[in-house]
Structure 1
Amino acid sequence: MRPRARLIYNPSAGKEALLHSVPRILDFLEQGGLEVSTAMTHGANDAVRAARQACEDRFDLVIAAGGDGTINEVINGLSQMEYRPTLGVLPGGTTNDLARALHLPRDLKSACEIILQNHRVPLDVGRVGDGFFINIAGCGRLTEITYEVPSKLKTHLGQLAYYVKGLEKLPFLKPIQIAIDSPDFAFEGKAMLCLIANSNSIGGFEKLAPNASLHDGFFDVIIVKPCKIPELVRLATLALRGEHLNSDRVIYFHTDRLTVSSAEEVELNLDGEFGGLLPREFECLKHHLNVLVPKPVEEVLA
């Protein structure tokens, strides 16, 4: 019997190019030996429900096709279930952070070939309350950019839309008051932002958390202390080269669980989407899912 796969895809991802590629994807995967059915998303949480249904129906494989928002929803649907099919990823969004972290190609045919190779590795998942994330949880005004960018602007400009929004927001950035408690480190004070990284790719930048691993059972936590705009710009320049962690403006530590709270109303960003308000508790679920990757990635994750 051929393995059963459920393809969950977002038709508006990646300037809507994914929608036109679905017939070719299905044909390629079917010829490769899979029995594939589809679920197209129409609105918020559709991918969560589709992934949960795939678990209940005991599919062997769930393939998430879309951007980081779609993949986040699929991971939320899978992670809450006792039986969890293996995850495959077809990157079709603006930044594709998980695909970058796993070294998956943007070319859909090449990504399908990796799925057919069936080489899997265990993947850590972040849990926050009753939700989950795979790449990043963050708070601070700068982290709000990703879900404030209109979908139409992302469709037309791609990743450039984030830079446009960032420049618009830069003059209004102010620090937030936060308190962090973990078995490994505690902090209370003002910060420009706080990042809880599960992977090394954040917003398309692969050196913001250069040491983060999807496989080690720990978060990499980065806190940026208050600084003026020129200092922040300099720090951003260092971050492009992965040299910011040594700055006296940056606090950096590892932990597998922590609590973040604030006396202010502070929004939480989960994988680029609005994730509610602080306070929240975070836990790294080590090896919670299996994901299909190119074989060389096993050495990277080890």
Structure 2
Amino acid sequence: MKKARLIYNPTSGREEMRRRLPDILQKLDLAGIEATTHATVGEGDATACAIDAVERGVDLIIAAGGDGTLYEVINGMAPLPNRPPLGILPVGTTNDFARAMNIPRNWSDACDLIIEQHKRPIDIGLAGDRYFINIAGGGSLTELSYEVPIKLKTMIGQLAYYVKGLEKMARLRPSELIIRADGVGEFHEEFMLFLIANSNSIGGMDKLAPDALIDDGLFDVLLVKKCNLAEFIRVASMALRGEHLNNPNVVHFRTSNLEVTSPEYVQLNLDGELGGTLPCNFSVLPSHIEIFAK
């Protein structure tokens, strides 16, 4: 029997995990995976549990929840020298990273990926002393993912993000940024937002960084220049169709390391969670963790 630690968020995805837990444990057990469980109870709890699981020498860790749960588990595993493979059960609201990796939303199909033990090495992003698996960014619109109340997400799911996004649209403002990227150069001007993508699925959209790869050792960086609300909405609508990279208000490049600073107060978004403030250095850790995926 393989030993696993199943770390799950009981409030994710309209509390689906709470209902599915007995079926998941039975399916894993029949396949030779004995899982102990831990229900997260607050910020940082999944990180502490992941550290404990690694130190106890489990054969694999399973993160069940949304992108926030995955972010915390990654931050527990990534700094440690011995990292077991990671399974993902995407039962959250958006599940950006699982979508990028084609991990099924159906819990039973996602369990099958873990049971089949098909491992794939992936890059991890390092932002200062924090880690991210999917996306880092800054700018007023990127704040909405961690400003949406948990109860609202539980009630109406992804619609909660659209509601909050419409509310923030009217208050969009640019920030002065200095961006220095290895192999690219320096940018110093006002930007509406910046996004540092490790995969091609961001905010439920798979065309925002269409060519981003999880294992190429590079970030795909998107900068939206200062523009008025009408121009910004045009960029957003083009992004839905994957046509935004040719817009004159969009800067796109690839790099493995960049530094972002600002004379202003700019908060960071890491995988949908509040990740501190600028200044910050971002770098790729190539093939840093193995996940169960095809």
Indicate the residue corresponding to 2:122 in structure 1: 123
User: How far is 1:272 from its partner?
Assistant: 0.4
Name the SS for the 2:12 alignment partner.
coil
Equivalences for residues 49-68 of structure 1 within 5 A: 49-68=48-67
Kindly state the Cα deviation for residue 46 of structure 1 after the two structures are TM-superposed: 0.6
Distance 2:51 2:129 in 1: 14
TM superposition shift of 1:241: 1.0
| 2:205 aligned residue | 205
User: What CA distance in whole angstroms lies between the structure 2 residues aligned with 1:183 and 1:285?
Assistant: 15
User: Alignment partner of 2:208: what SS?
Assistant: coil
Code of the residue aligned with 1:245 in structure 2: it is L
Deviations 1:248-292 (A, max 9, x none): 111100000111000000000000011111000111000000000
CA-CA distance at 1:81 after TM superposition = 0.5
The structural deviation recorded for 1:33 is 1.1
Secondary structure at the residue paired with 1:80?
coil
Alignment of 1:1-302 (within 5 A): 2-185=1-184, 186-294=186-294
Find the residue that maps to 2:161 and give its secondary structure.
Answer: helix
Q: Distance in 2 between matches of 1:144 and 1:172?
A: 12
Residue 35 of structure 1: how far off its partner (Å): 1.5
> Aligned partner of 1:85: which letter?
P
- Give the 3-state SS of the residue equivalent to 1:268 in structure 2: strand
Letter in 2 for 1:118: Q
SS of aligned partner of 1:14: helix
1:192 maps to a residue whose letter is: M
1:130 Cα offset (Å): 1.4
In structure 2, what is the Cα distance between the partners aligned to 1:167 and 1:183?
35
- Cα distance in structure 2, aligned partners of 1:41 and 1:166: 27
Q: Distance in 1 between matches of 2:74 and 2:192?
A: 29
The C-alpha deviation readout for 1:189-243, integer Å capped at 9, x for no partner, is 1000000000111111111111111110100000000111111111111101111
Partner SS, residue 123 of structure 2: strand
Query: What residue identity is the alignment partner of 1:174?
Result: R
What is the total number of aligned residue pairs between the two structures? 293
1:267 maps to a residue whose letter is: Q
- Matched residue of 1:15: which SS? helix
Cα deviation code 1:151-178 (max 9, x no counterpart): 1111111111011011111111011111
TM-score, normalised by the number of residues in structure 1: 0.96
Tell me the amino acid that sits aligned with residue 208 of structure 2: L
Q: For the residues of structure 1 that align with 2:177 and 2:145, how far apart are their CA atoms?
A: 21
Runs of at least 5 residues in structure 1 that lack an aligned partner in the other structure: 295-302
Residue 20 of structure 1: CA displacement? 1.3
Could you list the runs of 5+ residues in structure 2 that have no partner in the other structure? none
- 1:297 is matched with none
Matched residue SS, 1:172: coil
Alpha-carbon offset, residue 8 of structure 1: 0.4
Q: Aligned partners of 2:96, 2:134: CA distance in 1, in Å?
A: 7
Q: Within 1, Cα distance between the matches of 2:165 and 2:43?
A: 25
